[in-house]
Amino acid sequence: MIILNEASPRVVLCVSSKEQVEGEALAQLMSGAGLPGVVHAAGLADIHPGMGLPVGAAYLMENMVYPHIPGTDAGCGVGLWRTSLKPGKINLDRWSKKLNGLDDPWDGDTVEWLAEFGVEASEPDPGLGTIGGGNHFAELQQIDQVFDADRVKDLGLKKRDVVLLVHTGSRGLGSALFWEYANEGGAQGLPGDSGQAREFMEKHARALDWGRANRALVARRFLSCLSAKESLVADVCHNSVEKVDLSSKEFFLHRKGAADATQGPFVIPGSRDAFSYLVEPLGDQRENAFSLPHGAGRKWPRGHCKARLSSKYGKSDMTHTKLGGRVICHDSALLWDEAPQAYKDIEKVMQELEKHDMARPVARLRPLITYKTRTKNRQGR
């Protein structure tokens, strides 16, 4: 853990060496720490440059709300579900062929589904139950190593279980919310006790609930393709603003690509050709602003990946992983942009978490099928 600024605002970098972090990400972290109201800023082990502010960072604010910090996907998070799929009957090629229709609007009652998650809606929402683009995915995984058998058992899991990980968020709702406030004030922020801040927080809370509902419906639709059932293990958001009480004072905790470390065990995904880890937060989490890494962190910017990789790898290398998994992505640009090589090493992220006693691994998850997007075939199946 490196202290970049001792006085207020306190700025910490949750890695062993600054050389592990891009200079641009460090500059963005310090820039964010200079915003009015910041009392504490934390750069996490997966920190990397973002749009103006780094991804993989958390900021604790006194009486200030910044709608632009969580970005265009408020409510984005990662959920883990147990499945009824049998480990002895894994057939990746057959299962992959069955995953159809996930990019299309759901044919169920979205108003009723949202109501189950406390979200009021008056008309159907065609985006609900869809994954979206960018780094979002639904990934079938298998527990291939257990580090704490008792904790895994407490979560209703065991070695070799087939589970589903879903990474997505509030889709168009979060984007609309971002631009509504960006157009009104940009990065100037809102006084925390103002009516405008209260209005934003209400709309933001709806986006967070919508994101949870979306991940749950993606899981339902994905597993329905395989005639399987699901039950939730963990669901943790990593793009959010929340009101917190510390030492009898009220603050606003802003997370940008930073997983909420107060909700118990959750999964930190690796790339589609790397392991993911089910982890349990340790300690009081104050120094790292009650937040933990949400992934491995990007190494290369989007749009640069194909030029770096296409001379060395073919399409089959992108759709069949070294770990034996399958990748479903019929968007060629996205297939290259989300290549495993574009991401940092998840093992190094885990080393930092253990070294600094921020979290411990409970189980390791191996990717089986990573679903990004699939075009509809001519028969419409």
Active site residue 356: no
Contact 238, 260 (CB under 8 A): yes
Residue where the block lists tokens 């089910």: 278
- Alpha-carbon distance 306 to 336, whole Å? 5
Contact 130, 108 (CB under 8 A): no
Contact 215, 164 (CB under 8 A): no
Is 330 annotated to bind a ligand? Reply is no
Is 216 annotated to bind a ligand? Reply is no
Is 238 annotated to bind a ligand? Reply is yes
One-letter identity of residue 348:
K
Is 202 annotated to bind a ligand? Reply is no
- H-helix or E-strand containing 216? helix 195-225
- H-helix or E-strand containing 43? strand 38-48
User: Which one from 254, 294, 320, 330 is the annotated catalytic residue?
Assistant: 294
Is 372 annotated to bind a ligand? Reply is yes
For residue 230, CA distances in Å to 25, 134, 161, 169, 312 come to 38, 25, 12, 19, 39
* Backbone phi, psi, residue 347, to 5°: -65, -35
Is 294 annotated to bind a ligand? Reply is yes
Is 117 annotated to bind a ligand? Reply is no
Is 138 annotated to bind a ligand? Reply is yes
- Alpha-carbon distance 358 to 280, whole Å? 9
Please state whether beta strands 38-48 and 64-65 pair in parallel, antiparallel, or not at all (unpaired). Answer: unpaired
Residue list for the binding site: 135-139, 167, 238-239, 276, 294-297, 372
Residue list for the binding site for Mn(2+): 136, 167, 238
Catalytic residues: 294
